[in-house]
Amino acid sequence: MGISDGRVVIVTGAGQGIGRAHALAFGADGARVVVNDVGPAAEQVAADVRAAGGSAVASLGDVSDWAYGEELVRTAVDAYGRLDALVNNAGLVRDRMLVNMSEAEWDLVLQVDLKGHFVPLRHAAAYWKEQAKGGSPVDARVVNTSSGAGLMGSVGQGNYSAAKAGVVALTQVAAVEMSRFGVKLNAIAPAARTPMTEVVFARTMAKPATGFDPMAPENVSPLVVWLASADCDVTGRVFEVEAGIISPADGWQHGPREDRGDRWPVEDVGPAVRRLLDKAPQPEKVYGQ
């Protein structure tokens, strides 16, 4: 049916928005899909995949919960005999300027958006390591979900920006560590109209009356389907994606340097920093700046 034919894919946070679009796209491309969400919407999406001719099962649970993360991987293996790809998509926002942000708002976003990536990834990695060490060939993929806020920062989203920047760093490290087990791992930074973004982007992401909808979540899914396929031959990269646009995003790079060969006197530090910044590229502006 497609490049996903027969592959077993977990999609987290797939009860609505971008995750739902991913699950339907994988089903249409021939994958067998494990649809995760915290509520019964996951069951409806799994039913939608099946109604369209695909194969899917639902798994309800919190992806930041350690025991459930292990159960989620086991669900895929029990239902379909193996796991080929994990798409970490689950996330939420609690937007607030830092001076007004509560501890609970910080903790919840970091728990779901960052730990909720780590937990399924950790248990999937353990499964693939066991398969590789047992002599079974592994050709697995992971797609993590960051955000423009994680790449550039976003005013009023300090918690979300920190979590999504963490996803990028986790992706870079895990891509190196997991390569020995036959796993390729990348991240996306999507922009689309979803229940999570519709209030923030109500004007700029309005749905057109007719024609191509540049902010439809379905526009993100083709890249994700490819990144989760055996055809994907890249790892450790981040791709911005929206509408009909795909763009590799580059992260921190070593900049110009001055080596004094000794400890810097305080009075010489300021002039040195200014000289170095004159040579360095200007950083991208924070969204909302």
Tell me which residues are annotated as active site.
147, 160, 164
Measured CA distances, 68 to 27, 73, 88, 284 (Å)? 24, 9, 14, 38
CA distance 159 to 258: 34
Nearest Cα to Cα of residue 224 among 176, 180, 192: 192
Euclidean distance between CA atoms 239 and 218, whole angstroms: 16
d(CA 225, CA 241): 13
Contacting residues for 68 by C-beta, under 8 A, at least 6 apart: 61, 62, 119
Cα 98 from chain centre: 24
Contact 155, 289 (CB under 8 A): yes
